[in-house]
Chain A
């Protein structure tokens, strides 16, 4: 679905040059749910913008559904295929009515009116926001705004959605709303998800976790594989789920606890076995 081949990206202004992405190779399969973690400034946001063609790689190539992001004629096709949701819910809603905002993408694609109507209705239904169709966005909660933003992307019928810290500014309730929506889209609609986040409870839901530091991929694998590297992650200043940390520190005390624990249930089972 997304093929990132030895990609580098350097921000360049007259005053300074900074390497945001330093040789990344990453292949994301269709229908996969990939979580990207790394602290601020690690390059993960740049990577997201490269996939959507907002930025173009200074080195290497990115293929989205086989389309090269550097080909300026394909750019709209790429943006339609890999939609993007941003961090600040306020700064990505264009229109003053929810349904009008969801229609913004399909309108730009020049679709016929009836098609836009069905797509808007379908997308709002998929994110559970149908009843807010006629509401002005500024009256919605943060979680609801992000769901509207997701609906706006869905209305373009993307194969992949890249979400750049969509939950960072939300409260726990809003975060759950957004995560449930993303997971459902991935499981039920088969949409490929690239999710950038700092929240570990979101990361463990992914099929694959990619850890980025200084513009390079440091660790990648299933959540279980990645969270085995507790010390390495903590050195980088990243979080680890508390139960994983507990299992890890018990292991250090010589207790034979599995190093693949991510959830409370798994830890309970493990401890029950030991007691």
Chain B
């Protein structure tokens, strides 16, 4: 078990007239090595949830256990949590501050109190994961980089802490398709090679469908749906009601099924759908 959340409730401004329930009795289990997609429209509670997992917000009630380690206990050192859970915020390039890319990426490991050699290894590794050439970029100012490179340098800053769980809050927001694809493939590779647990928050159903194993849908501070992506995408009506949707290709599948064309509704990958369609039309045209 990588993450286990039990009866998590969080109330904003408790006791004031602005009191709001941001999370309500959330229960969640995430397996080690899972790639999970977290979706929900703005204000659904997903940001609050991921900040809890990193110890940035203390729950009003409930527990969060990361790899057997209860991070909600009072005496827990925050640095212990940071080693376990890495959190990449939205638009992470806005937190770059050092003079050089190297120093900025080293900020996290330095805070963990690691020695120089270990920090050096970690910075190199992190830059390698996000495909920033070490020699070329280490001495550059992070502010000279292009938009996509800045984003990657900022993500490297979290990766250098070598967390067991990596949470990314819309890592591709505002990027162009090329920048988006680069970052997503790097995350995918990191997950496949290092077997770390990844939680991806995204508004893009296409990206979610492509990358994750399981989807968690948040709505009004509660978990609305959770399950393998194939299962979750079957609830297209409900997803739309709560301001979400399906990848376009699945709308096609649904429309075809509605016309009585037999396509397996458990097939959601682009290539798999293509072969399904080929099976259908190929009969006539092959």
Answer yes or no: A and B touching, Cβ < 8 Å: yes
Q: Which A residues fall within an 8 A CB radius of B?
A: 39-41, 87, 141-142, 168-169, 171-174, 198, 201, 237-239, 241-243, 245-246, 249-250, 253-256, 264-265, 267-268, 271-272, 274-275
- Are A198 and B277 closer than 8 Å at their CB atoms? no
Docked Cα-Cα span, A237 to B178, in Å, equals 5
Among B65-73, B97-105, B129-137, B278-286, the one that faces the other chain is B278-286
- Are B259 and A241 closer than 8 Å at their CB atoms? no
Chain A residues with CB under 8 Å of B249's CB are 242-243, 246
The total of chain B residues at the interface (CB under 8 A) is 37
- Are A271 and B256 closer than 8 Å at their CB atoms? yes
Docked Cα-Cα span, A249 to B284, in Å, equals 17
- Are A264 and B255 closer than 8 Å at their CB atoms? yes
Given A169-B173, A241-B248, A274-B284, the answer on whether A41 and B178 have CB atoms closer than 8 Å is no
Docked Cα-Cα span, A250 to B281, in Å, equals 10
9 more contacts with CB within 8 A, not counting A40-B147, A40-B176, A250-B274, are A41-B146, A169-B174, A173-B243, A241-B248, A243-B248, A250-B277, A264-B251, A272-B261, A274-B284
Chain B residues with CB under 8 Å of A249's CB are 274
A-B contact count (CB 8 A): 98
CB neighbors of A among B263-278 (8 A): 270, 273-274, 277-278
Chain B residues with CB under 8 Å of A87's CB are 174
Query: 8 tightest A-B contacts by CB?
Result: A237-B178, A39-B176, A242-B248, A242-B249, A274-B281, A40-B176, A239-B177, A268-B255
CB neighbors of A among B139-161 (8 A): 146-148
Docked Cα-Cα span, A127 to B148, in Å, equals 33
> B200-217 CB contact bits vs A (8 Å, 1 = yes)?
000100100000000000
- Are A198 and B278 closer than 8 Å at their CB atoms? no
- Are A246 and B281 closer than 8 Å at their CB atoms? no
Docked Cα-Cα span, A230 to B87, in Å, equals 36
- B179 CB-CB contact with A under 8 Å: yes
- B244 CB-CB contact with A under 8 Å: yes
Q: B278 is contacted by which of A172, A237, A245, A250 (Cβ under 8 Å)?
A: A250
Shortest CB–CB separation between residue A11 and chain B, in angstroms? Answer: 14
